[in-house]
């Protein structure tokens, strides 16, 4: 029995040594690489929702609601159509990210002008609004922003929303 116990201990020590050596090699390789992965990263919403130059696209709820009240912005819902139909920011344009290539020309006229474009979806980790904002920037729109977790924060703040009528939803 003692020999099996000793063998297990020896195997565990060897496994631990392999793990330590692998970690040292991984850290060393990462350090020597030109484009290594940073050990400490900034995962804030401003960094996660930024454009290619690193400029944050995030707009606060306070500023977005002020712009809404003063008709200074166009809101664009990046969620799928069925979610838009269930409820959206009042007056928002539906441009689902999954159908952006099909629907862009249809809604482009609603986005032209001097107004800020505010994209939103639902959930802190939802990337649809960010992807849509980058797309719209690439299409030449200059002032495009992202309202992070837009649908949820807008609704919770008790701001203007609208839903498709139940009879209209039944026909969808």
Which domains are assigned to the chain? Answer: 1-41 (no CATH), 45-170 (3.40.250.10)
Mean pLDDT of 103-109: 92
Q: How many CA atoms lie within 13 A of 156 on its CB side?
A: 9
31 versus 131: the higher-pLDDT residue is: 131
Give the Cβ contact number of residue 12 at 10 Å.
10
Question: Three-state SS for 27?
Answer: helix
* Neighbouring C-beta atoms of residue 41, cutoff 10 Å: 8
Whole-number pLDDT of residue 128: 94
Q: Which is nearest to 163 in space by CA: 88, 110, 74, 52?
A: 88
* pLDDT greater than 90 at residue 59: yes
Q: What is the mean pLDDT of the chain?
A: 89
Report pLDDT for 51.
86
């Amino acid at each position: 029995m003692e020999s099996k116990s000793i063998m297990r201990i020896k195997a565990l020590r060897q496994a631990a040594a392999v793990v330590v050596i692998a970690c040292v090699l991984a850290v060393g390789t990462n350090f020597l690489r030109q484009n290594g992965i940073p050990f400490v990263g900034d995962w804030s919403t401003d960094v996660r929702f930024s454009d290619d130059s690193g400029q944050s696209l995030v707009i606060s709820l306070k500023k977005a609601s002020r712009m809404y009240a003063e008709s200074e912005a166009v809101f664009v819902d990046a969620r799928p159509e069925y979610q838009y139909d269930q409820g959206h920011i009042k007056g928002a344009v539906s441009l689902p990210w999954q159908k952006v290539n099909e629907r862009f020309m249809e809604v482009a006229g609603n986005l032209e002008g001097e107004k800020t474009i505010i994209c939103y979806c639902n959930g802190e980790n939802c990337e649809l609004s960010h992807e849509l904002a980058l797309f719209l920037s690439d299409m030449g729109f200059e002032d495009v922003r992202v309202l992070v977790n837009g649908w949820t924060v807008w609704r919770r703040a008790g701001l203007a929303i609208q839903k498709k009528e139940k009879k209209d939803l039944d026909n969808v």
